[in-house]
Amino acid sequence: MMMQELEGVMSQALNTVGVDLPEGFQVQVESAADLRFGDYQSNAAMVLAKRLRTNPRELAAKLIEVMELGDLAVADIAGPGFINFRVTHSAWSKRMSALLGDDRLGVAWVSPAQTIVVDFSAPNVAKPMHVGHIRSTIIGDSLSRIARFLGHEVITDNHIGDWGTQFGMIIHGWKTVLNESDLEADPVAELLRVYRTVNALCGEDDAVRETCKQELVKLQGGDAENLQIWEKCVDLSKQGLQGIYDRLDVGFDYWYGESFYNDRLAPLVDEMLESGVARESEGAVCVFFDGDAKLDDKPSIVRKADGGFLYATTDLATIDFRVQQWHADQIWYVVGAPQQLHFQQIFEATRKRGQNPSMHHIAFGSILGEDRKLMKTRSGDNVQLVDVLDEAVERADRVIGEKNPDMDPVQRAEVASIVGIGSVKFAELSQHRMTDYVFSWDRMLALQGDTAPYLQYSYVRVRSIFRKLDGQMNIDPSALSIEADAEVHLARMLVRFGETVPILLDDFRPNLLANYLLELAKAFHSFFEACPVLKSDGDTQNTRLALCELTSQVLEKGLGLLGIEVPERM
Ligand code: ARG
């Protein structure tokens, strides 16, 4: 809010000195790059002076003279014409009082709110869930939480691959190599084994490959036995996935997988042929993007010459459904970078069909092993998400055991799960999504470092202050007086929450929030060292407790937006 208030004051000052604002000009105030010179800064005088051909320092001086800052801040000129603002102690105190009564912790509601469909996770049934699905799940969940908190209407949809060519192999395997009791014990693992076995056989034997193809054709033709096997596989896989999502605390409003759209594909292609959006080419039906710089020579096939439909066809039908049924204003696809072309094509084809929701491919890079190559298991397979979660929790348990060996075992298991899973999520979300990051257990679980455990521990440390007080102190929001430098810095960081959350969706960067929380925790620890809380009294103690209270609220809320929980003890 402080930023907006200062922008308001600046606009008014421009008005007072009679500057004609150019079309579309917006006064901007930002967090100061160098805190020695102030808390906020604006380059408006420089931008305007250039356009109006006057001297920037003179314009800045004039503005400062007429600015009605009250006791909000003190302004001065720096360098070629920057205006720096130093927020006053009393303004910080007032701001902290306001935050204490604000359950949004300074984050304004967006306007206008939009209906946003978030398409993420979307693994393929009975095929191994790969690292890309891990990233998609964690990033997609966090973006959904952020968008919801800002006030958007968010619909999360798990577009699972439940109708791919893999079913030819799985059905053949089901009929020939399935182990019933293993299926009962661990369905996902057994389906995966069946898939891998048949996949390997296909590589060696053309006859097997042919049989699988036949099984697929039968399935697509509605063969009762194959349909039954398919349905069973999908159900079992969904149950397995649900177990993982529960551990991750990730939820979906819908699971409309690819098969949900089967009946809509043929009519859609017919309609596109009729309207001229698509045309026949060598027996197939394609959408051509003539004259499009990126896609000119890259048509999208929507029906093969043998009559089969493709991934793109399903995605077009899916967009259609989301626009018609859910009135989606925006659709976000959290899918790895290798699918970039696919999304460019379906977005463009959708526009050709005359629909224009705002569609975004939110891409991400790879996860690398410590050898900096794509992360694999020792046997060279894709790493399984369940194994990652198990190991994270196990390792977190060890870390907690070292720190707090007397913790009650039930509580310890609970904390280990919160810390372990939080670590995996934070390692993901603290990187820019396009970065290929190295997966390092030791680094992500370190109590000192840019990690979830560090933030969770910071939270526990704040809460322990209140436990020591045992409810004997009520914070009086009207009696705050921020004075010490460490108090000012913590207040500044607390205000920054409301300035950070609204920009996270600009380029889909939860990492800005992750990094902000690390800064906040650092500010808290410096404050805690410099400013005794329990040993102070009167207004000083009241003020410090208020800062502690707000710190714990922002840490909890901020981590919550990343999908990370906080323990009460650690
Ligand atoms: N199942 C796909 C895959 O594993 C991801 C689906 C993404 N969503 C979509 N609407 N195409 O690669």
Flag whether 67 is in a domain: yes
Task: Tell me how crowded residue 468 is: count the other CB atoms within 10 A of its CB.
Answer: 10
Flag whether 262 is in a domain: yes
Question: 420 C-alpha vs ligand 1 centroid, how far in Å?
Answer: 27
Residue 281 has what pLDDT?
96
Flag whether 319 is in a domain: yes
Tokens 């102690």 -> residue: 89
Flag whether 354 is in a domain: yes
* Nearest residue (CA) to ligand 1, atom 4: 123
H helices present in 501-537, as ranges? 510-530
Residue 333 has what pLDDT?
98
Residues 267 and 350 in one domain: yes
Q: Name the strands in the sheet holding 73-78, side by side, starting at the edge strand that comes first in the sequence.
A: 30-31, 40-42, 82-87, 73-78
Question: 78 C-alpha vs ligand 1 centroid, how far in Å?
Answer: 51
Best CA proximity match to 173, nearest among 193, 153, 156, 144: 193
Tokens 């097997």 -> residue: 208
Residues 228 and 265 in one domain: no
* Cα gap 509→434, rounded to integer Å: 10
Residues 228 and 285 in one domain: no
* Nearest residue (CA) to ligand 1, atom 11: 315
Q: Are strands 40-42 and 30-31 parallel, antiparallel or unpaired?
A: antiparallel
Which of the listed residues 315, 339, 347 should we mutate to test ligand 1's pocket, taking the one with most ligand atoms within 8 A of CB?
339
Residues 236 and 299 in one domain: no
CB 331 near ligand 1, within 6 Å: no
Which of the listed residues 117, 335, 344 should we mutate to test ligand 1's pocket, taking the one with most ligand atoms within 8 A of CB?
335
Question: 310 C-alpha vs ligand 1 centroid, how far in Å?
Answer: 12
Flag whether 305 is in a domain: yes
Flag whether 116 is in a domain: no
As a three-state string, the secondary structure of 288-325 is: CCCCCCCCCCCCEEEECCCCCECHHHHHHHHHHHHHHH
Residue-level length of the chain: 570
- Note the pTM of the prediction, 2 decimals: 0.95
Residues 222 and 290 in one domain: no
CB 412 near ligand 1, within 6 Å: no
Residues 38 and 73 in one domain: yes
CB 312 near ligand 1, within 6 Å: no
Best CA proximity match to 124, nearest among 250, 258, 260: 258
CB 162 near ligand 1, within 6 Å: no
CB 316 near ligand 1, within 6 Å: no
CB 122 near ligand 1, within 6 Å: yes
CATH code (residue 31) = 3.30.1360.70
**Residue range of the domain that includes 80:** 2-87
CB 130 near ligand 1, within 6 Å: no
Residues 297 and 224 in one domain: no
Question: 312 C-alpha vs ligand 1 centroid, how far in Å?
Answer: 10
CB 257 near ligand 1, within 6 Å: no
| 8 Å CB contact between 91 and 491 | no
Number of domains in the chain: 3
| Ligand 1 atom closest to Cα of residue 333 | 8
Flag whether 524 is in a domain: no
* Nearest residue (CA) to ligand 1, atom 3: 123
| Ligand 1 atom closest to Cα of residue 127 | 4
Which of the listed residues 155, 159, 313 should we mutate to test ligand 1's pocket, taking the one with most ligand atoms within 8 A of CB?
159
Residues 264 and 178 in one domain: no
Flag whether 399 is in a domain: no
CB 428 near ligand 1, within 6 Å: no
Q: Is the dihedral of CA 24, 30, 33, 36 positive or negative?
A: positive
Residues 353 and 270 in one domain: yes
Question: 160 C-alpha vs ligand 1 centroid, how far in Å?
Answer: 7
| Ligand 1 atom closest to Cα of residue 339 | 12
Buried residues in 139-166 as b, exposed as e (16+ CB within 10 A) = bbbbbbbbbebbbbebbbbbbbbbbbeb
Looking at this protein, which amino acid is placed at residue 44? A
The DSSP bridge partners found for residue 407 are: none
Residues 34 and 82 in one domain: yes
CB 333 near ligand 1, within 6 Å: yes
Question: Tokens in use for 316?
Answer: 């077009």
Residues 228 and 271 in one domain: no
Show which of 26, 61, 87 is a domain's final residue.
87
Question: 238 C-alpha vs ligand 1 centroid, how far in Å?
Answer: 16
* Nearest residue (CA) to ligand 1, atom 5: 122
Question: 257 C-alpha vs ligand 1 centroid, how far in Å?
Answer: 9
Q: Mean pLDDT, consecutive 10-residue segments, the chain of 570 residues?
A: 92 91 89 91 93 92 96 95 96 97 96 97 84 91 98 98 92 96 91 93 95 94 96 94 94 98 97 98 96 93 94 97 98 96 98 96 91 78 84 94 92 96 96 91 91 97 92 89 97 97 97 98 98 95 97 98 96
Show which of 248, 283, 315 is a domain's final residue.
248
* Nearest residue (CA) to ligand 1, atom 6: 122
CB 314 near ligand 1, within 6 Å: no
CB 125 near ligand 1, within 6 Å: no
Residues 223 and 272 in one domain: no
Question: 453 C-alpha vs ligand 1 centroid, how far in Å?
Answer: 32
Question: 158 C-alpha vs ligand 1 centroid, how far in Å?
Answer: 9
Question: 159 C-alpha vs ligand 1 centroid, how far in Å?
Answer: 7
Residue 128 has what pLDDT?
67
Show which of 87, 112, 133 is a domain's final residue.
87
Task: Tell me how crowded residue 290 is: count the other CB atoms within 10 A of its CB.
Answer: 8
Any residues with CB less than 8 A from the CB of 230 and at least 6 apart, and which? 167, 171, 219
